[in-house]
Amino acid sequence: MSSMPTATQILRILRYLAGHPAGARASVMAAELGLPRSTTYRLLGIMSEEGFVLHHPDDQTYGLGAGAFEIANSYGCDATLERLGEPLLTRMVEQQFPKAIGQLSVLRSRETLHLLRKSGVQAPVSITNTGVRLPAHLTATGRAMLSCHTQEQVRALFDDQRCFVLRTGTGPTNLRELHEVLRNVRALGYARETNEIAAGLASVAAAVVDPTGYPLAAIGLTFRAEELDSDLRDRAGHACRQAALEVAYRLHGARRYTTVRNSRAAS
């Protein structure tokens, strides 16, 4: 008999079914999750009665039911990211970087959308207001998220030379240059840009990723370019990475996030 708490067993079954949209047999599910078959069938029966699991009698498989989708649809990811990110951004600009503007952004195709903005007491004036969309290949937050994609995914997004718009005359102008920028982001551990969105401003950012490494958002800090020397840039980049990790931990659960991320890193 499994010593795993029933609630944990139920959640693992639901997560397993979420990863098998074509359905899964109870016996296979039990074996892969390490659950007794009798327990698996019993829990599947209960969840079927409550509408969270759907039984397909033709091929004897199970899938997610309407109840699970109702919960998923009520979960506003952007709103959740804002709620988790706001206290972290506030703390960063109030306690660590009073001369910076903090942003929480998400990727929308080839653009970054700013969900949150927090300004320190000595922060510069910036165009990065909430709701503003900017070219992702030019922003630090956009580059942080794009760096989590494969080259093929980036190529699919930037499939036309016209995608490489410039705002100040500087920045990558083709796919080869963008790939080089993203390689530098991966090597450094955070993204950066200087004078590419607005003259006189420079930014650093790090991506918030899910357990599979997919970018959900990015946390960035913007400074006056003349004030962002290499030491401050590294400290700010590290702070963005720590804040992004904290959001990811809170969003997905530290145990699951760390376990899956470490598993991917070792593979």
Residue pLDDT, tens place only, 160-180: 899 999 999 999 999 999 999
Q: What is the helix (H) or strand (E) element at residue 49, kind and residue range?
A: helix 37-49
Final residue before a domain boundary, out of 20, 45, 73? 73
Same domain flag for 152 and 25: no
Q: Please determine, for residue 243, whether its predicted confidence score (pLDDT) is greater than 60.
A: yes
Same domain flag for 102 and 126: yes
Q: Please determine, for residue 242, whether its predicted confidence score (pLDDT) is greater than 90.
A: yes
Same domain flag for 86 and 186: yes
Answer whether 145's CB lies under 8 Å from 218's CB: yes
Write the DSSP assignment of 197-226 as a string of letters.
Answer: SSTTEEEEEEEEE-TTS-EEEEEEEEEEGG
Residue pLDDT, tens place only, 5-30: 899 999 999 989 988 888 899 999 99
Same domain flag for 27 and 87: no
Number of domains in the chain: 2
Residues 6+ positions from 176 with CB-CB distance below 8 Å: none
Name the nearest CA neighbour of 21 among 64, 58, 56: 64
Same domain flag for 42 and 82: no
- Give the CATH number for residue 146: 3.30.450.40
Distance CA 178, CA 83 (A): 32
What tokens were used for 149? 């994609």
Residue 20: inside a domain: yes
Give the mean model confidence (pLDDT) for residues 105-123: 92
Same domain flag for 43 and 84: no
Following CA atoms 252, 254, 255, 261 in sequence, which dihedral angle do they give, to the nearest 10 degrees? 80
**pTM listed for this prediction:** 0.72
- Give the CATH number for residue 52: 1.10.10.10
Residue 1: inside a domain: no
